[in-house]
């Protein structure tokens, strides 16, 4: 359902519609006057040619002047109406731009308020966590701390202060409960060597969301409202995952030897063994086509004997083609998964 237009915009559009009607009426009147003027000029021409009396000539002259004056007036009125139409269209466009700016700025401010409220709840939870952390450190006595041992990198840990142990235990809880937060105690192994941990940098004050996020959002809202920044606000685009499906294998009983395409441009794959383990999509297609069965057939012994007899003279071109391209199936499934993921991202961003 479209959003209702602001009252000012609706009034301007009504005014513009009225101006269009007035312009059409004036144009119609102008066209009619052109005919009247042509007729008046023709009458004056005949009067002059016939040499009529002075009164008739004066009447003909007056009739021409009246029509010409009216035509000039209509032309002037049309010019003014065109000017007003242009001015009104400019006002409507200005109102539209102002509306877009206001909507973008209001969205930023609304999100900022929601973030502030949520951040305040997190701040209160962190304050409670700090108190619990202090209590944990107080509970670890000097006689208890030597019993703590951590044998993973960077080596066995003992003889550490209670507050150090409390910090490690709390960090472990955070990393376990909130896996989205990267909590590091020391370096970690990366592909090209060890990478030093980067600690979370503290900010001044009790509400870090304000200077880090919502204050810049409010500044941008003010610039958008003033026309100094675009209303096309940046959006976070999540990196695309790997959409290629894993292709499991499935065991089937081959009733009729067949071939299928693993990938375009490659030689066909032959499925000849009575009991074969092949990619599951191919297996399902073969079962549907009647080339294979999921359950063991009653004549499996004769199938094996027949297959052994045929194996020496097997010609790939003589085998029926399943008409299935596994590579194309993987590409199609990948495209389907990607389209579904993109649609979900668009839905979440809307």
Residue 238, judged by CB atoms within 10 A of its CB (0-12, 13-18, 19+), counts as: exposed
Predicted local distance difference test score (pLDDT) of residue 311: 73
Q: Are strands 258-261 and 321-325 parallel, antiparallel or unpaired?
A: parallel
- Number of H helices and E strands in the chain, helices first, is 8, 8
**Secondary structure element (H or E) that encloses residue 253, with its range:** strand 249-254
Flag whether 292 is in a domain.
yes
Q: Within a 10 A sphere around the Cβ of 291, how many other Cβ atoms?
A: 21
Beta bridge partners of 158: none
Question: Of 101, 131, 165, which one is at a domain's C-terminal end?
Answer: 101
Cβ burial 173-208 (10 Å sphere, 16+ → b, else e)? eeeeeeeeeebeeeeeeeeeeeeeeeeeeeeeeeeb
Number of compact structural domains in the chain: 2
Predicted local distance difference test score (pLDDT) of residue 41: 81
Q: How far apart are CA 317 and CA 268, in angstroms?
A: 10
Q: How far apart are CA 205 and CA 207, in angstroms?
A: 6
Flag whether 149 is in a domain.
no
Cβ burial 94-114 (10 Å sphere, 16+ → b, else e)? ebeeebebeebbeebbeebee
Predicted local distance difference test score (pLDDT) of residue 208: 56
Name the stretches of the chain with pLDDT < 70. Answer: 1-7, 52, 142-143, 146-160, 179, 182-209, 212-213, 236, 348-350
Block residue for tokens 């003992």:
158
Torsion of CA 274, 277, 283, 287, to 10 degrees: 30
Question: Of 52, 83, 101, which one is at a domain's C-terminal end?
Answer: 101
Block residue for tokens 């990267």:
182
Q: How far apart are CA 17 and CA 238, in angstroms?
A: 46
**What tokens appear for 309 in the block?**
């007899």
**Secondary structure element (H or E) that encloses residue 92, with its range:** helix 54-139
Predicted local distance difference test score (pLDDT) of residue 124: 93
Predicted local distance difference test score (pLDDT) of residue 332: 94
Predicted local distance difference test score (pLDDT) of residue 71: 84
Q: How far apart are CA 187 and CA 4, in angstroms?
A: 57
Compute the C-alpha angle 227/231/233, nearest 5°.
135
Torsion of CA 64, 66, 67, 68, to 10 degrees: 80
Flag whether 177 is in a domain.
no
Block residue for tokens 């877009």:
100
Find the CATH number of the domain harbouring 80.
1.10.287
Cis bond upstream, residue 149 (ω within 30): no
For 10-46, write each residue's pLDDT tens digit: 888 888 888 898 888 888 888 888 887 878 788 888 8
Beta bridge partners of 276: 252
Per the CB < 8 A criterion, the answer to whether 275 and 251 are in contact is: yes
pTM of the model: 0.51
Q: Within a 10 A sphere around the Cβ of 260, how many other Cβ atoms?
A: 22
Flag whether 287 is in a domain.
yes
Flag whether 2 is in a domain.
no
Per the CB < 8 A criterion, the answer to whether 296 and 288 are in contact is: no
Flag whether 182 is in a domain.
no
DSSP state letter for 243 = -
Predicted local distance difference test score (pLDDT) of residue 156: 40
Question: Of 101, 117, 137, which one is at a domain's C-terminal end?
Answer: 101
Q: Within a 10 A sphere around the Cβ of 268, how many other Cβ atoms?
A: 15
Flag whether 238 is in a domain.
no
Per the CB < 8 A criterion, the answer to whether 327 and 263 are in contact is: yes
Contacts of 61 (CB under 8 A, 6+ apart): 44
- The whole domain housing 11 covers 7-101
At 265 the three-state DSSP class reads coil
Flag whether 308 is in a domain.
yes
Per the CB < 8 A criterion, the answer to whether 310 and 299 are in contact is: no
């Amino acid at each position: 359902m479209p959003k209702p237009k602001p009252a000012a915009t609706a009034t301007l559009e009504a005014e513009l519609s009225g101006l269009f009607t007035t312009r059409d009426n004036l144009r119609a009147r102008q066209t009619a006057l052109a005919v009247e003027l042509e007729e008046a000029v023709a009458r004056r021409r005949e009067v002059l040619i016939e040499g009529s009396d002075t009164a008739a000539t004066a009447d003909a002259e007056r009739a021409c002047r009246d029509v010409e004056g009216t035509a000039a007036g209509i032309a002037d009125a049309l010019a003014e109406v065109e000017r007003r139409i242009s001015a009104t269209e400019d006002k409507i466009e200005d109102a539209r731009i102002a509306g877009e700016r206001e909507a973008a700025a209001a969205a930023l401010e609304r999100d900022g308020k929601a973030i502030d409220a949520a951040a305040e709840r997190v701040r209160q939870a962190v304050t409670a966590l700090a108190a619990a952390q202090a209590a944990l450190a107080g509970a670890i006595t000097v006689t208890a701390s030597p019993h703590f041992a951590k044998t993973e990198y960077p080596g066995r840990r003992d003889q550490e202060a209670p507050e150090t142990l409390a910090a490690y235990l709390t960090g472990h809880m955070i990393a376990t409960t909130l896996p989205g937060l990267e909590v590091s105690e020391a370096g970690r192994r990366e592909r090209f060597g060890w990478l030093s941990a980067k600690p979370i940098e503290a900010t001044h004050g009790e509400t870090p969301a304000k200077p880090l996020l919502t204050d810049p959002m409010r500044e941008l809202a003010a610039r958008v409202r003033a026309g100094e920044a675009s209303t096309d606000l940046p959006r976070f685009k999540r990196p695309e995952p790997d959409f290629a499906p894993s292709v499991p294998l499935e065991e089937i009983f081959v009733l009729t030897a067949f071939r299928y395409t693993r990938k375009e441009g490659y030689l066909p794959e032959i499925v000849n063994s009575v009991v074969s383990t092949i990619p599951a999509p191919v297996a399902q297609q073969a079962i549907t086509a009647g080339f294979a069965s999921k359950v063991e057939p009653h004549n499996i012994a004769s199938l094996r004997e027949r297959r052994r007899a045929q194996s020496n003279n097997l010609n790939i071109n003589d085998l029926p083609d399943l008409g299935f391209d596994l590579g194309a199936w993987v590409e199609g499934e990948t495209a389907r998964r990607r389209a579904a993921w993109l649609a979900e991202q668009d839905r979440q961003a809307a």
